[in-house]
Structure 1
Amino acid sequence: MSKLSPEMCTVPVDGEYDPTVMRFLHIRTHLRAELATGKYPYRVDITWPYDGDEKGLPDPETADAMKGFRERVIDEALERDKLALLAYEVVGEDRCLWCIYTRNIPAFQEMLNEASSELPDYPLEIYAEEDREGLAFGEVEPMIAAE
C-alpha cells in the first residue's frame, strides 16, 4: 500500500455505470486532516482504461502493470516528499482510477513524466482541477465505515 499512509482499506462497491458489476475501492482512511490543512488544493485523476473480463476486472498482466505503475510512479515518486497524496483507487468496470491530491500541478506533472519515462506507454487519461474542499474524496469517504 501507500508509503505515507499504510492505512488504506478496501471496500467493494457497486458499479458506477452498471450496478450489477462490482468495483473495488482502495481508500486512504485518514486523509481528511491532511486536506483540511489546505496544502493539497488540486486533484489529479489518472485513469487507465482496459479491456476487462466479464466482471469488468483486468487480466493478470494488466493488473500487474497497473500495480507496478502505482508503486513506481504514485507511491515512490509522487508521494515522496509529500508532493502528492493518493486519496483512493477504484478498479472495475474496465478502468482503474487513481484520485490524487497535490500541492502543485506543474511539479506533479514534471515528477509524473520523470517517474514514468522508462515505462511503456500506458493508455493513461489525466484530468486535473482545483478541489480545495476535497469534494471528490468526500464522495467516497463515507464508504470507509462500510469496511
Structure 2
Amino acid sequence: MNDDLILEDNWTGAEGANANGIPVMVRYRQNIREFIDTGSYPTKIEISWLYDTDEAAEMPTPGEATVMENFEAALIAALEGDKQSILVAVMTGQGEKHWQWYTANARMAQERIDMALLDFETLPININTKEDPNWNDYFDFIADFGGAA
C-alpha cells in the first residue's frame, strides 16, 4: 500500500488554552502533502478517550498517560506499518484525548484496531469515522494552531 510514499515521523507541537484558561496540548504531523494528494485516504477515524484529570493541569494522571502512550504505540504498529492508515493529529486536554487518523480502508482499519485492543483491558474510548476526502478536518485543525500541511 503506497510503498512509494515516505511517512516521516516529523511532528509539530503546540500548547494552547480554552476560553477558561484550561491547557490543551496538540501535535500534528507535517510533510504529509503527498498522502493527501493521492486521494487514497478519504476517511477520517477519530478515537476519543475520556479521562480523569490531574486537577492541577487538566491533563491525564501519570498512570493513565502511560496507558495512552502504550495504546498509541500499539495503534501505530497496527496501522502505519504498511501505510494503510496514518496518524495525523493528537489533542489532549480538558479531560479528553483525541487521535485523528486518515485511512485507505475504514473496515480494515477497524479490524486492525480491534486486534490491537486485545492487548489491553477495556479502555474508555469511542471510535468515529467520517468521510473527509479533502482532509477538511485536518486542515481546520492545523489552521487553529498556525500550521501548514
Structure 2 residues not aligned, in runs of 5+ = 1-5
In the TM superposition, residue 141 of structure 1 has moved relative to its aligned partner by 2.2
1:136 has 2:137 as partner:
yes
Give the alignment's Cα RMSD to 1 decimal: 1.7
Q: CA separation in 1, counterparts of 2:43 and 2:49?
A: 20
Q: TM-score, normalized by length of structure 2?
A: 0.88
Q: Secondary structure of the residue that 1:96 maps to in structure 2?
A: strand
Question: Which residue in 2 is equivalent to 1:7?
Answer: 10
Question: Which residue in 1 is equivalent to 2:3?
Answer: none
Q: CA separation in 2, counterparts of 1:65 and 1:124?
A: 12
In the TM superposition, residue 80 of structure 1 has moved relative to its aligned partner by 1.5
Question: Which residue in 1 is equivalent to 2:90?
Answer: 89
Structure 1 residues not aligned, in runs of 5+ = none
Q: CA separation in 2, counterparts of 1:144 and 1:20?
A: 19
Q: CA separation in 1, counterparts of 2:7 and 2:117?
A: 20
CA contact (8 A) 2:43 2:132 kept: yes
When you count helix as a share of all residues, which structure comes out higher?
A: 1
Aligned identity (percent) is 26
**Structure 2 vs 1, CA of residues 76 and 4 (structure 1 numbering), >3 Å: closer, same or farther?**
farther
Q: CA separation in 2, counterparts of 1:60 and 1:127?
A: 26
Question: Which residue in 2 is equivalent to 1:63?
Answer: 65
Q: CA separation in 2, counterparts of 1:144 and 1:85?
A: 21
- Aligned length, in residue pairs: 141
Question: Which residue in 2 is equivalent to 1:22?
Answer: 23
Question: Which residue in 2 is equivalent to 1:50?
Answer: 51
CA contact (8 A) 1:50 1:58 kept: yes
